[in-house]
């Protein structure tokens, strides 16, 4: 597809008149600007599609792009044309005999989870056999007795990338999100097993049996360690606290549960959109924006008070921040860090659009 500049596109300009979705707590004028920013991000992503519908030949990024379209205020479907259906076709072309959806044997669990989420978002029953097989693949991938893990092992209930077998909270959250989107039975053992792992990544010694655990209520990347890029040992930080809280909610843990309350208190008390909270870095900043928007929408509170007693409307503030960071062509990228592909606008634009879509809910 030939790329054109965003502002020269009549369809893009016309979106200023798109009716706003339910008003919620966002300022009406900001809501209109946010709808337009989403449209700009989607226009950019459409221009990044290859002839086969893929974005960067990646199942994961293509699935995130597809989800961004399907969950947008426009509620695109396959009936809207090849810019949607080709993305679906690319995912379907990479379905493997074991149920995974991936272009390679690397990151199979992650790719399968985000593809499962996107295919579920199509609401098309023709993909039910594929999503059922993908669910089964992810369930088998969980570290449990079948892999020789006993419940007292720190990694029990966890899920890794696939190809890199050590579990981490980031992949657990992505997998649980995919399983929930695909209507996995709430009574399936996967949820309770995952909660064992999730609890062992929380800095809350009352519910974490690991010796390293502190008591601030936030989350680390995996039991006993964080990525070395942060240089913060096992301290809690924003991206993982949002992921941990999301995992608790996806698994059906009630908002009144002390684990949920502790995580929410950490996240709101340490709130900032300038850095990945709990670090002095901007590594994983857009990952945080994406997870933060999802968890705040899931938690269901429109505003909160931070650790300094300041009240915040999270929808307004996140939208204002992302709109200020959007490039003229509609894209986003992390200009301060290339860690974990955040310098790649295709990935970060999909994340940012999905974050804004959650803010618009």
Domain boundary assignment for the chain: 6-359
Q: How far apart are CA 354 and CA 286, in angstroms?
A: 11
Q: Is residue 287's pLDDT more than 50?
A: yes
In the predicted model, what is the mean pLDDT of the chain? 93
Q: Positive or negative CA dihedral for 161, 165, 170, 171?
A: positive
Name residues whose C-beta falls within 8 Å of residue 357's C-beta, 6 or more positions apart in sequence: 38, 68, 71, 72, 73
Question: Burial, 17: exposed, middle or buried (Cβ in 10 Å; 0-12, 13-18, 19+)?
Answer: exposed
Q: Write out pLDDT tens, residues 100-131.
A: 999 988 899 999 999 999 999 999 999 999 99
pLDDT of 7 reads: 33
Two structure tokens written together for 117: 């989420």
Residue 231's pLDDT band, with cuts at 50, 70 and 90, is: confident
Question: Which value, to the nearest 10 degrees, does the dihedral of the CA atoms of residues 226, 229, 235, 241 take?
Answer: -70
In the structure, what pLDDT confidence band is assigned to residue 307 with cuts at 50, 70 and 90? very high
> Torsion over CA of 37, 119, 121 and 81, rounded to 10 degrees?
60
pLDDT of 165: 79
- What's the pTM? 0.92
Sequence-distant contacts of 145-154: CB under 8 A, at least 24 apart: 151/196, 154/200, 154/210, 154/223, 154/224
- Confidence band (pLDDT; 50, 70, 90) for 336? very high
Strand partners, 101: 95
Q: How confident is the model at residue 18 (pLDDT cuts 50, 70, 90)?
A: very low
Helices (H) and strands (E) in the chain, counts: 13, 2
Pick among 1.50.10.20, 3.40.630.10, 3.30.2130.10, 3.40.190.10: CATH of 6-359? 1.50.10.20
| Torsion from C-alpha of 258, 259, 264, 267, nearest 10 degrees | 140
- Mean pLDDT computed over 290-308: 96
Query: For the residues 173-192, what does the mean pLDDT come to?
Result: 97
Q: Tell me the C-alpha distance between 37 and 354, whole Å.
A: 11
Give the per-residue pLDDT at 23.
Answer: 37
> What local confidence, expressed as pLDDT, does residue 163 receive?
73
């Amino acid at each position: 597809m030939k790329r054109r500049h965003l502002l020269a596109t009549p369809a893009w300009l016309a979106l200023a008149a798109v009716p706003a979705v339910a008003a919620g707590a966002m300022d009406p004028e900001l809501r209109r600007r946010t709808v337009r920013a989403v449209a700009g991000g989607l226009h950019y992503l459409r221009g990044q599609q290859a002839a086969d519908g893929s974005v960067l030949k990646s199942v994961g990024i293509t699935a995130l792009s597809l989800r961004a379209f399907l969950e947008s205020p426009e509620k695109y479907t396959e009936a809207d044309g090849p810019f949607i259906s080709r993305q679906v076709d690319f995912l379907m072309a990479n379905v493997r005999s074991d149920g995974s959806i991936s272009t390679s044997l690397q990151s199979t669990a992650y790719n399968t989870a985000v593809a499962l989420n996107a295919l579920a978002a199509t609401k098309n029953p023709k993909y039910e056999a594929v999503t059922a097989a993908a669910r089964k693949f992810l369930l088998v991938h969980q570290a449990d007795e079948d892999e020789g893990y006993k419940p007292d092992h720190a990694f029990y209930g966890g899920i890794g990338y696939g190809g890199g077998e050590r579990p981490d909270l980031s992949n657990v959250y992505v997998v649980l999100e995919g399983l929930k989107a695909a209507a996995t039975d709430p009574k399936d053992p996967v949820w309770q097993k995952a909660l064992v792992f999730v609890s062992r990544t929380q800095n809350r010694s009352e519910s974490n049996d690991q010796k390293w655990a502190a008591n601030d209520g936030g989350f680390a990347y995996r039991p006993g360690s964080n990525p070395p890029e942060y240089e913060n040992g096992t301290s809690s930080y924003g991206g993982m606290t949002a992921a941990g809280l999301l995992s608790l909610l996806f698994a059906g843990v009630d908002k009144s549960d002390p684990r949920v309350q502790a995580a929410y208190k950490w996240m709101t008390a340490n709130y900032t959109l300038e850095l990945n909270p709990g670090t002095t870095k901007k590594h994983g900043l857009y990952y945080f924006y994406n997870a933060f928007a999802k968890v705040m929408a899931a938690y269901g509170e429109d505003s909160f008070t931070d650790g300094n007693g300041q009240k915040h409307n999270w929808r307004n503030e996140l939208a204002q921040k992302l709109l200020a960071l959007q490039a003229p062509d509609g894209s986003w990228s992390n200009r301060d860090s290339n860690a974990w592909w955040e310098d790649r606008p295709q990935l970060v634009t999909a994340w940012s659009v999905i974050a804004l879509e959650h803010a618009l809910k």
